[in-house]
Chain A
Amino acid sequence: MATKAGSRKRSRTALEADKPVLSSDDEFEIPEINGHESSEDEDGFSTADEGSDESEELSDAEGSEDDDEIDSDEIPSDDDISHKPNGVTNGDLLDQEDAPNPEDNVKVVTGADGNPRYIYPEIDPVYDSDDTDAEEFNTIGNIPLEYYENYPHVGYDINGKRIMRPAAGKALDTLLNSIELPKGWTGLIDKNSGAALNLTEEELEIVKKLQRSEITEDGYDPYPDMVEYFTNTVEQMPLSSAPEPKRRFIPSKHEQKRVMKIVKGIREGRIVLRKPQSEAADQPEFYDIWADDAPPKADHVMNIPAPKLPPPTHDESYNPPPEYLPNEKEKKEWEELDPEDREKNYLPRSHKALRLVPGFNGFVNERFERCLDLYLAPRVRRNKLNIDPASLLPKLPSPEDLKPFPTTCAAIYRGHEGRVRSVSADPTGVWVATGGDDGTIRVWEILTGRQVWKLKASSDEAVDSVTWRPTAEGRILAAACGNEILLVVPPIFDPEEESHSKEILSGGFGYAANNQGGKEAPGKWSKPDSGLDEEGVVVTITVRKTVKYIAWHRRGDYLVTVSPDDVRRAVCIHRLSTHLSQTPFKEKSVTKGIPQRVQFHPSKPLLFVATKRYIRIYDLAKAELSKTLKPGARWISSIDIHPQGDNLIVGSYDKRLLWHDLDLSTKPYRTLRYHDKGIRAVAFHRGGFPLFCSSSDDGTVQVFHGRIYSDLMENALIVPLKVLKGHRITSHLGVLDVDWHPKQPWLFSAGADGTARLWN
């Protein structure tokens, strides 16, 4: 401690000495006063220190530099006095070293060049100055010795004299040397002497140690036994033989000072002691050990209350009803079970009175198990969600606000024998055409349900699809009957319109005649036989297999047909103006699956081909596959494209109606499961009403509101509106086809019960 204090003192004086030279000079003019001042300064410092100490104690601060000083017991030491002269002498010594006196040892002589020249005194030839034992030393530097091979010497010593090569031995010596290697032979040549460099055993040991990256010092033990200076074992004898300092036996003055300071503070009232806690007031006199619950703990994340035990049941009663008491067999079973496997750890027993109930022998065990459960089983605090369930429901507008939509059956078109397969409303909105299993195509007046025209297209084949040409002029009805596609102009229109429609159809005959290629065309265009000709059929197209579906292009020049049975030519595009048919997909592998429905995009040159599971969109202009939709349905029955072209509905036989947003994803945007049986047909309204519908084998047609916003950020709004019931289910078939009126919010449905219906 004393040395430490001394060093501190010294460093302090050193600091003073480091002051600028001028001030130090000033101090040195009156060295006595300086010393005195410094002691005064010391005192002043210590008083200031005390003051600060005091304030710090009051504020209960700790860890400051001054505290450290106090802890070192330095201030009231006697060493200060002994140090003072030391400090002065040190200062003097430093002064002598730091301020060199040029006149002391070095003579300055003006040299020949006029510059001052220092002439140092002659060095006394004392022991340290002798270098005669220095070894002879080659001065050639880092040059390979081979350069001196042709010379008798190997280099020069410090005085510039040649170091001569040692005399080479005789050949016999060399031989002997080569046979018997001398100890310490390295094969190297000492650069200084030119002789063979042999290393002593000690040197070799050092080299080896260096190679092992060990410490080369002799006798160094890398693994010395640990001396446990700081262990919990109390040493009987002191580790060091230093005597106990005297300080330890006399009361500390500093401590007394501090205590007095606190006493003074308490007396003056500056330090207020903590009030003694009145324990008796806080704690209740008695504990209610029968209280149900522990006092509620503060709400904290880590404070998870123990789960409540289930309330006791009948068989835990002291006198349970007899049906709860176990019989002998149950008792035996219970006893034979391993205690771990028992459902409950007691057997219900009956006692006549509550006071006769003995103590439960497994009580401690049970409590322990419970505590173990609470301790070991992780518990999670579940925050209850205070959400109004009604607010989670999507906010859909009421169907009342979305009027008009079809609600009632307004007309029934009776006449078909067997199922009505297909229904289509004509673009003028006055007629509706149906095709059925009886092979007839019929046209009805929409409002009255009067059949105005009928065509027996075939005696054995069903009419699977009828579609009006969707253009303003040219009233052409396309009907698929077996493997024939009939293009019909029903004689119910104005003669002018009728002849115009016929011209459209028959204009391509000449063109087709000129283009008789060698290859077999997928469809054969021909004039019908006389019977059908009189009825209004203008053209028949014969393909190879049964046509199931017909769709028109919006301009009415193309129509696309699907014959799922034809593996190679399932999809066929027919052109009216040239009477040509072509198959866009030559190989089956292109469409990858059996096509179910095809549809033209309402504005772009795209063709939608729905196979059983996927919908592929082909770009007809680039002749490539542009997108594949994956509705996730097992068997797609029908598709329809929104008149704006960005949305698509898909009906599937697995009861699902899927809404695809083509901009969003290849997965459906919304799945609607409202039907009890497979969906047969879906249709969008094309006349400006935001309506679509689906028909199903459960005999219902369901009408939905499907509004699409022009804002791309807003998703389509889909609201189920109405279930239209009326069609009877006949041999598990319900409503086979639906179509919307082109302008009114009226719906046509074709049922398996032989009727078509108008809903408005």
Chain B
Amino acid sequence: MATAMDLDDAPAVASVPRLQINLSTRDPTLAVPLQALRVPINLKRYGLSTLVNHLLETPKPIPFDFLIDGQYLRSSLDDYLTQAGLSSEKPLDVEYVRSQLPPTYIGSFEQDDWISSVHLSSSSILTGSYDGTAQITSLSGQVLAKTIPLHAQSVKTVAWLAPSPSADTQTYPTSFLTAGMDRTINLWTYPHSPDPPSSTTALSATTTYISHKSTITSLSYSPSTSQFLSSSADHTVALWSTDSSLLPTVSAPQPTAFSRKRRRTTTKHPATEKKGPLAVLTPHTAPVSQVIHTADPTAAYSVSWDKSIVTHDLVTAQVVDTRLTQHPLLPDSEYVFASASHDGCVRIWDVRSVSSSSSSSPAEADPEGPRNGASLFIIKRESGAGKTFGVDWSKDVGLVSVGEDKKIQINRGEMLSDVTILEQTEKP
């Protein structure tokens, strides 16, 4: 203990008063034995980080960040005490986490039209565009495949049918879903090949899912049950299965006279299988902005413009719980999430850093209670203004965001190991 102190402190500041701190962490791999430490009061983040590294005896120093009472330590301990009006006599509880550096800009790939949504697999980026197509881009920016314009209107959301993560081998998703303003969901098959093809392949849809009466806003796929959910602006959430035999066959709605005329101008697309939903949930009274599965695949949350979060039991298609809030939110087991906002920024939030005072900055609600937190980092669009419509993160690719500027932007940060994704739709 004393040696550690000697290591940290220069002799010049030996007379500085000391403060007792209790170090703790939620990461079991980084836990230090519980002991009371007396540290100089003018210690900053770097000093504390060196101290923890010394305690852990790590071969390579890990940068740490320190949370005191839900706030990141950004100055010295002394300053924090003065700001919080605390006495240096009392022991201070300090939680340490791995430090996260702001993600760095890697590059961006441009497309023809606004990009509405993004979903990542391990090796490719699936984006949906407002021109009614979806395309798969490799990490190097090469367009691997593009869907035929089966969607009469914009694609609003896309989702890989990712295989279950429990599979041991590295598998690639072979199919994906797209949905958009034309009220249909299409299932596409993408023959994944390890070698990038020389030219862009045109993909055809295999199945069309028809139920919604208005724009489909989001899709959520659960690999364990092979079911997926869709939310729509017609206030409904529909439950579907990728197994077509489970779904009833429906006929496509008869196009009206002038939409028939409009169709005639475009090329004839190959016919797809038309399927109806397993169940339609109608818990909301306003357009549903997003639906997502919980960790348990038999339950799902949906958020809506009517300011409510509804928990669904997917087995019985019943509403379990309805909570009213002011913001859509997605609880998760992880601590950090990213959000895309229409103000043209991607924000990375840490739900551990919450302050009870309401801040004026755009804030996300925290799962435990209606508290506001400040965002950890803000990633601006490199192209300047424009709304950000979607964001996704994967370990291999980094933080990918798409938006009104027709670009896919990739940011990558070190140590962003536990970032999960939240797409902030809109503040109701």
Contacts and interface: CB of A to CB of B under 8 A. Distances in A.
- Same complex origin of A and B: yes
A495 B305 CA distance: 25
A682 B387 CA distance: 29
Contacts of A535: 258
B380 interface: no
Contact of B253 (A445, A449, A495, A743): A495
Interface in B281-317: 286-287, 305
Contacts of B323: none
B146 to A, nearest CB: 20
A13 interface: no
B153 A452 contact: yes
Interface string A485-528: 00000011111111100100000000000000000000000000
Interface in B64-121: 114, 116
A534 B387 contact: no
Interface string A431-445: 000000000000001
B259 A494 contact: no
| Chain B: number of interface residues, binned into ranges | 20 to 34
Contacts of A17: none
A195 interface: no
B254 to A, nearest CB: 6
A450 B114 contact: yes
Contact of A492 (B114, B181, B254): B181
Contacts of B254: 495, 499
Given A445-B181, A494-B213, A450 B258 contact: no
A498 B256 contact: yes
Contacts of A215: none
Contact of B181 (A452, A502, A743): A452
B409 interface: no
B342 A491 contact: no
A743 B286 contact: yes
B262 A448 contact: no
A744 B387 contact: no
Given A448-B389, A534-B261, A430 B214 contact: yes
Contacts of B428: 744
A744 B215 CA distance: 18
B286 A533 contact: no
B35 to A, nearest CB: 47
Contacts of B116: 448
A760 B181 contact: no
Interface in B403-425: 404, 425
B214 A428 contact: yes
A428 B428 CA distance: 16
A48 interface: no
B153 to A, nearest CB: 7
A483 to B, nearest CB: 24
A495 B213 CA distance: 9
A497 B213 contact: yes
Contacts of A447: 342, 425-426
A534 B305 contact: no
Nearest to B285: A743
A491 B214 contact: no
B426 A502 contact: no
Nearest to A451: B130
A448 B344 CA distance: 12
A493 to B, nearest CB: 8
Contacts of A502: 256
A494 B305 CA distance: 21
Contacts of B23: none
B165 interface: no
A494 B183 contact: yes
Contact of B214 (A494, A536, A760): A494
B427 interface: yes
Contacts of B253: 494-496
A491 B258 contact: yes
Contacts of A411: 342, 387
A723 interface: no
A429 interface: yes
Given A450-B114, A450-B154, A534 B262 contact: yes
A206 interface: no
B286 to A, nearest CB: 6
B384 interface: no
Contacts of A499: 254, 256
Contacts of B427: 760
B233 interface: yes
A598 B399 CA distance: 54
A410 interface: yes
A498 B299 CA distance: 35
Given A497-B213, A760-B427, A429 B258 contact: no
Nearest to A501: B256
A502 B257 CA distance: 10
A429 B256 contact: no
Nearest to B289: A447
Nearest to B287: A430
Contact of B387 (A449, A452, A760): A449
Contact of A448 (B153, B255, B256, B387): B387
Interface string A527-545: 0000001111000000000
A536 B181 contact: no
A495 B214 contact: no
A535 B258 CA distance: 7
A429 B287 contact: yes
B175 to A, nearest CB: 27
Interface string B236-280: 000000000000000001111011011000000000000000000
Interface in A729-760: 743-744, 760
Contacts of B255: 495
A499 B342 CA distance: 35
A727 B256 CA distance: 39
A428 B426 CA distance: 17
A744 B305 contact: yes
7 contacts: A410-B426, A430-B215, A448-B114, A448-B116, A448-B404, A494-B213, A502-B256
Interface pairs A-B: 8 shortest CB-CB: A495-B253, A494-B213, A534-B258, A430-B233, A498-B256, A534-B261, A499-B256, A447-B426
Interface of B: 114, 116, 130, 153-154, 181, 183, 213-215, 233, 253-256, 258-259, 261-262, 286-287, 305, 342, 387, 389, 404, 425-428
Given A498-B259, A534-B262, 5 more contacts: A430-B214, A452-B154, A452-B181, A494-B213, A533-B258
